[in-house]
Amino acid sequence: MEELLVKPALELAALVRAGDVSARELTEAALRRIDADADGLNAFTHVDAEGALAAADAIGPGDERPFAGVPTAIKGNRAVAGWPLNFSAALFGDFVATEDAFLVRRLRDAGFVLTGQTTLPEYGILPTTETVRFGETRNPWDRDRTPGGSSGGAGAAVAGGLLPIAHGNDGGGSTRIPAACCGLVGLKGQRGRVSQGPIIGDNLLTVDGMLTRTVADAAATLDLLAGMEPGDATWAPPPSVPFAEAAGAEPGRLRIAASTTTPLEGGTADAESERAYRAGLDLLVELGHEVEEIEAPWQLPGLLELFSASFGPMVASQIALGAQIADREPTAEDMEPLSWFLWEAGQQLPSITYIVLQEQLKGFGRRLISELAPYDAILTPALAERPPEIGTMNGMLPDPQDTFARSGAFTPYTAIANVTGQPAISLPLEHGEDGLPSGIQLIGRPAEEGALLALAAQVEAARPWAERRPPQQS
């Protein structure tokens, strides 16, 4: 039964619908894997076995909901009623959420069985997942390395065969990075595509989604998560056809720009990232697309500082929420050095300056979209480096500013799509000589996830990856 957990979520739902396997059997298998954690992944911070089994028992054969009976998990920065909500941070203490996030309600309504909560770095800051509060989360392909972040627990859980699919979110690459580290599909939808209510309002950078094994699962889950909720101030325009339908269509011959130019000055892609990128470029040409290598026009002096000026206050607002819950001012002892560094920086940034910097970032995004408008998609490496070893990049290191800059050098290609708001997807195209996955990233036109998913599905059909397993699962 546990072998079924590495199947795509849509396949599992079809088995439950047909009566070939029960929702309870799948859920029990997931809970056994999570409880045993035989590979020492440390992917979960909270498990709700009783609630999961009760939900599974309410699902029977013939249930037509798209994901009825499929076990999943929620990243630890989104509210689930009755579960802890702590952002992997000590400041939140034992706070328990009193209501579901809208996306959680939608996942329940689609028939998903919620098993628990996955790890993230403190306040979701870094592209690795190591915290004082919950320890180190490890990569199923090499347990001495990170699974990425900030949706690192979700990536480890799916790649490690604990779950077939898991929730994540992406404010600078936090879905695409763990997908690239763990050999999964990571889709970031268009800005405003998925409501973050009722607790969180508009967000310039972050979009919620799922880490999946297949493009089809990514498209189908986007269909159920997408759409405005009451009270949303802004939202992405609805698609002309469902994303799942668009993903199944032929993409046609596209004009695609390809670039290893890193948005950060002085950045470079390592040899393995370059190799995966070249493999992706060659495949796109083989599939009949017009591919043009370019010096991407996204290098801007001070871009890291400009992005930080938007990202830092977002982190500070989460710390402020923790302080409100704790009913006191936060101190350095409440958090990791990196979090404290960003909190202090946020306190010192005048509100007018913050607004001006946000407008500058938006203006840069608009100019970049205009300059890249002739292309249907952009190809880049997913990462610039191999997943770092545990202990080499985390929020506890003595020089927080250096750690933050170092994280940008590891993942320079992903945050651009958060700045512009465009959809982007990480695909596990290759494996390196070190046995770790090597991914590519495709960035689509604004609000055109359907066309991006069709291209991604074409790539997947040409180089299937869903059956790949870490060594201990082979």
What 3-state DSSP class applies to 33? helix
CA distances from residue 105 to 115, 167, 406 in whole angstroms, order as listed: 14, 13, 37
Catalytic residue among 88, 150, 151, 407: 150
**Residue pair 13/24 in contact by the 8 Å Cβ criterion:** no
Catalytic residue among 22, 174, 259, 308: 174
- Burial class of residue 158 in the structure, from the number of CB atoms within 10 Å of its CB (0-12 exposed, 13-18 middle, 19+ buried): buried
Q: Is 313 left (phi over 0), alpha (psi -120 to 50) or beta?
A: alpha
Determine the length of the chain.
474
**Residue pair 71/166 in contact by the 8 Å Cβ criterion:** no
Helix (H) or strand (E) holding 326: helix 303-326
For residue 237, give the DSSP letter. Answer: P
Angle between helices 449-462 and 271-286 (to 10 degrees): 100
How far apart CA 383 and CA 385 sit, in angstroms, is 6
Long-range contacts of 460-464 (CB under 8 A, 24+ apart): 460/185, 460/214, 460/215, 460/427, 462/283, 462/286, 462/287, 463/283, 463/429
CA distances from residue 405 to 241, 308, 343 in whole angstroms, order as listed: 41, 10, 16
Name the one residue in this structure whose structure tokens are 């982190």: 315
The distance from CA 357 to its chain's CA centroid, rounded to whole angstroms, is: 25
| Residue 75 annotated in active site | yes
**Residue pair 451/251 in contact by the 8 Å Cβ criterion:** yes
| Residue 188 annotated in active site | no
**Residue pair 282/262 in contact by the 8 Å Cβ criterion:** no
Name the one residue in this structure whose structure tokens are 């009949």: 288
| Residue 407 annotated in active site | no
How far apart CA 319 and CA 339 sit, in angstroms, is 8
Helix (H) or strand (E) holding 212: strand 207-212
How far apart CA 128 and CA 342 sit, in angstroms, is 17
Catalytic residue among 7, 75, 195, 259: 75
How far apart CA 446 and CA 48 sit, in angstroms, is 38
Residue type, 232: D
Neighbours of 329 (CB within 10 A): 8
Joined together, the tokens standing for residue 282 give 């060659």
How far apart CA 403 and CA 162 sit, in angstroms, is 30
Rounded to 10 degrees, what is the CA torsion of 138, 139, 142, 145? -60
Active centre residues (catalytic): 75, 150, 174
